[in-house]
A and B are shown apart, each in its own frame.
Chain A
Amino acid sequence: MLTYIVRRLIQTVPVIFGVILVVFLIMQMVPGDPAVLIAGDGASEETVQAIRHDLGLDRPLPLQYIQYVLDVFRGDLGTSYRSDHPVMDEIMLRLPTTIQLALASIVITIVLGMIAGIVSATRQHSTADRLIMLVALLGISLPSFWLGMMLISFFSVKYHLLPVTGWGSLEHVILPAITLGASGAAIVARMTRSSMLDVIHQDYIRTARAKGLKNRLIVYKHALKNALIPVITVIGLQFGTLLGGTVLVESVFAINGLGRLIVDAIRMRDLPVVQGGVLVASVIFVFVNLGVDLLYRYFNKRIEMD
């Protein structure tokens, strides 16, 4: 297991470098000169050249990339064009909120999704099964930002049960977490159902039933344990969708997180913040995926990962 962990960590390194390269290259596609953008209209050519030199933009592209990588590993993601503060500081101020939202959403994804999937699998073809799968279909089809707006309309505007916007208390977390976690819960429910049905129909489960074991024991001790393995992978992948989804949900609920920072930065053409925000979110996702891989390996040592 330790060898596997080390090997996976080593495999993660080129992916991280690749992510940094893609982010760097995407930002090179921006039309116009960043030095002109910073200097502002009416700035002299000398001023623009000085800024270009300070930012290293007068150097060849490969050298700019190497400098960027070195800066990233030193924790320097540049300076915000808008606020003039270090991008890392702007991100660190907002990242905890996004992580809290993502974690709350993943709890909803796992709890709701697995309960729904188990009920659906153990009552296959029943009304409950059909209803759960219909709700799951809605969950993967409804735009998250629209779902958020509808929840706000119903729970906040019409019945004043929960706050419309803001962050800081459990009341503020509920609607955004449901909005963000709904599609994940739907996917987990479908996966859990499918996975459990595959296991439930296997011979060893039939044998356990024939031996007279209680259904609850069969479901939770035998079937669920084996069905969990592919579900863990799906949950890990969903974390990525959640991280990406925070961009939309934070905008709907006016939450001051990393997602909203990135969107505001795009609108303001504050490209260092966009670059830094996307990079940080992606690196987090890479490590979450690594964690999921290791968990998968731990739960199923027989699976060949290579």
Chain B
Amino acid sequence: MNQSVITPAAPHTVIRPGQLRKFLTRMAANKLASAGGFIVLFYIIVALFAPWIAPYDPYNIHLPDKLLLPSWDHWMGTDDKGRDLLSRIIYGTRLSLLIGVAAVSIGAIFGVLLGLVAGYYGGWLDAIIMRIMDILLAFPGILLALAIVSALGASLINVMIAVGVFSIPMFARIVRGSTLTVRKLEYIDSIRTLGGSDLRIILVHILPNIMSPIIVQITLRLATAILSAAGLSFLGLGAQPPSAEWGALLSSGRDYMFSAPYLALFPGLAISTLVIGFNLFGDGLRDALDPKLK
């Protein structure tokens, strides 16, 4: 085959060294985004090294120590079963991050796939897929996730599935929009003319060029997923006792708001700080990857 046809360079690629350097420089210059990144990194480290960081066994019941106020021995106090709250929050980091990553992975994998197919093929396939996404988006807030959990039963895995399904339409919409833009580029037509298969075009030429909005959406959806999952666990529909998941900690802390408000204060601060980190980092990513700034 004659390879002398010059193929124009693919736009929006983040792989090229010059653009990567510019992106990293922009991220580093954005102090808020950097702070967000450090917060997220801190929580990841806590999650990874939880068994070495946590001062006590988070599941060890010791009733004589129940409802102790924060002190030198128990920095965040103890709960109604004498368990160290700091240790439970540390271990809860693992669960919250796991739920967030799993839920967003489900949303991203299916959402990106559907968005790519809808955007690339267009026509009736696009119409059907996007109408289904419109219907899923017609459910207010977490009600869709709630309905799914009510059907499947209360458990962490079902919360991951429910929050994941609830995330699919946003990914599908964004990817479809980006795919439509890239699909119209001349070099895509060139590749098709040269005999490139649809699968190759989608995976090798379109998907890498639309990674920027996907990455931003993943970061921002992680924040939403963690909040939604904590909310479902707070309602008793997610993690079950004696799980140290943060929403479950808040749920049990609610019973002691008069006598031991710290039981609700610290888990809430943990959730809030992590979500702030993801939001700051995601906002910074979006600004750094914005083509208008290039």
Please report A residues at the B interface, Cβ cutoff 8 Å: 14-15, 18-19, 21-23, 26-31, 137-138, 140-146, 149-150, 152-153, 157, 239-245, 247-248, 251-252, 262-263, 265-267, 271, 274-275, 278, 281-282, 284-286, 289
Contacts and interface: CB of A to CB of B under 8 A. Distances in A.
Contacts of A286: 138
A22 B169 CA distance: 14
A88 to B, nearest CB: 18
A153 B264 CA distance: 10
Contacts of A284: 140
Contacts, number: 149
B9 interface: no
Contacts of A274: 146-147, 150
A153 to B, nearest CB: 5
Given A19-B138, A143-B227, A247 B279 contact: no
Given A141-B223, A240-B141, A251 B135 contact: no
Contacts of A248: 142, 231, 234-235
B136 interface: yes
Contacts of A30: 150-152
B148 interface: yes
Contact of A251 (B139, B152, B235, B261): B235
Interface in B89-148: 131-132, 134-136, 138-144, 146-148
A223 B148 CA distance: 44
B150 A285 contact: no
A29 B280 contact: no
8 contacts: A27-B151, A141-B272, A153-B257, A153-B265, A241-B140, A266-B150, A284-B140, A289-B138
B231 A15 contact: no
B271 interface: yes
Contacts of A241: 140-141
B276 interface: yes
Nearest to B148: A26
Contacts of A137: 276, 279-280
Contacts of B257: 149, 152-153, 157
